[in-house]
Structure 1
């Protein structure tokens, strides 16, 4: 696995499940209270919450994502998970594939 361009805090673990040119699938583990930075990338992104819940900011609009729910993040949109009182485990699907993770 390549190191990401944005260094993840130690409270975040990433497991790359699929890394292809067309798409990337990643499992994320985020501890409660983590405050990752808002960021952008050109990839379309879909996140599916396996466990826990969090608020996600997309272009300043905050959406609550709970277990069993998914959210679409358009390519180029500034986004990020906001600090949560719960640990989260979720899948992230990117298209085209990410070259930085």
Structure 2
């Protein structure tokens, strides 16, 4: 099966999903090879330490995050990025309310909505 969003995706059409206390995400666009996800965090919210087989690059759109990748911890702010290689543990804590744009390759099948 091939997965993809339409060529154009107006922001008003995006559906948000609560993923934990103070955290929600929306699938911005994707195909089988690439996925872009917008994740909003309230201050103090946690993106728990985890790992997966996907390459991940994240861009801090706004806010301030304490980011762990492997054994390194850094504080990132708007405009900063981080890369989590496949199977490397990573997670974030929102020091201020903020937004991350997460890109994954290949797409995260576990993020797709369940078929009706």
| Higher Cα radius of gyration | 2
Unaligned stretches of 5+ residues in structure 1: none
- Runs of 4+ aligned residues of structure 1 deviating over 4 Å after TM superposition are none
Which residue, out of 38, 50, 54, partners 1:39? 50
Unaligned stretches of 5+ residues in structure 2: 1-16, 112-116
**Corresponding residue of 1:93:** 103
Shift of 1:62: 0.3
By relative contact order (CA 8 Å, sep 6+), the higher-ranking structure is 1
Whether the 8 Å contact between 1:19 and 1:98 is mirrored in structure 2 is no
**Which structure's residues are more often strand, by fraction?**
2
Whether the 8 Å contact between 1:8 and 1:36 is mirrored in structure 2 is no
Paired residues in the alignment total 96
Structure 1 length-normalised TM: 0.86
Please give the residue correspondences for 1:24-63 in structure 2 after superposition, counting only pairs within 5 Å.
24-63=35-74
Q: CA RMSD in A?
A: 1.9
**Which structure's residues are more often helix, by fraction?**
2
Structure 2 length-normalised TM: 0.76
Please give the residue correspondences for 1:68-79 in structure 2 after superposition, counting only pairs within 5 Å.
68-79=79-90
Counterpart secondary structure, 1:100: helix
